[in-house]
Amino acid sequence: MSKIAIMGAMPQEIEPILKKLGNYKTTKYADNEYYEATYKGVEVVVAYSKIGKVFSTLTATIMIEHFNCDKLLFSGVAGAINPNLKIGDLIVASKLSQHDLDITAFGHPMGFVPGGSVFVEADKDLIAISKKVAHELGKTVIEGTIATGDQFIHDEKVKNNIVKHFNADALEMEGCSVGVVCDALNIPFFILRSISDTADTDASFSFDKFMQSSAIISAQFIMKMVDHIVDAK
């Protein structure tokens, strides 16, 4: 029987999901809270990790190793790079990279360390489900590359540098670290983000204005995906 992990980074990213679940049990573990529920007969575990690669690595690992989740869906917001992505639009990651992982001094490409790879790929079956959901909702969802790093990007130059190395469509602070954990543990994963800003000089203002509404758009889409996964059981 499947047990689905649903993650966000910030409280606002999981609040709409908890609301939809209604009843849940709260467990404190490793300095965080995990919310367990049964949704249409399927067990789900929900948590927000706190911001950044380290906290999201910790939470993803715990959801898999401690709570025994066998699939992971991430819902949240991101800064857009691809000009086709406007505020509130959705991007599904086909692959993700760490834009701040840099040992280029030794001749390696950006985002690469020995034993790792520049990109980690999200699960194709979950991406296929997202296409069905998008079709059902009549929504355009862009599939593309997401770059993850431990900075809130609000600068065209930094943004352009990330494009140069990774040709990324959007950037955020947790997706790739979650992906690396799931990849290593053979857990299918899916990263969805709704745009809150365009990672330029106005990014923090745009983020404050749109984060909540974009987080809701992403969370609603994720729950439609959970419906599909549950119905396929």
Residues lying near ligand SAH in the complex (CB under 6 A) = 9-10, 51, 76-79, 152-153, 171-174, 196-197, 199, 203, 207
- Taking alpha carbons only, the member of 100, 78, 76, 103 closest to residue 162 is 100
How crowded is residue 200: how many other Cβ atoms within 10 Å of its Cβ? 15
Cα-Cα-Cα-Cα dihedral sign, residues 189, 7, 95, 89 = positive
Position 28, amino acid: K
Nearer to ligand SAH, 4 or 199 (CB): 199
Shortest distance in whole angstroms from residue 106 CB to ligand SAH: 27
Half-sphere exposure in the Cβ direction for 209 (13 Å, CA):
9
Active-site positions?
13, 197
Nearer to ligand SAH, 50 or 108 (CB): 50
Shortest distance in whole angstroms from residue 208 CB to ligand SAH: 7
What is residue 67's DSSP assignment?
T
Nearest residue by C-beta to ligand SAH? 79
Shortest distance in whole angstroms from residue 193 CB to ligand SAH: 8
Both structure tokens of 195: 């745009």
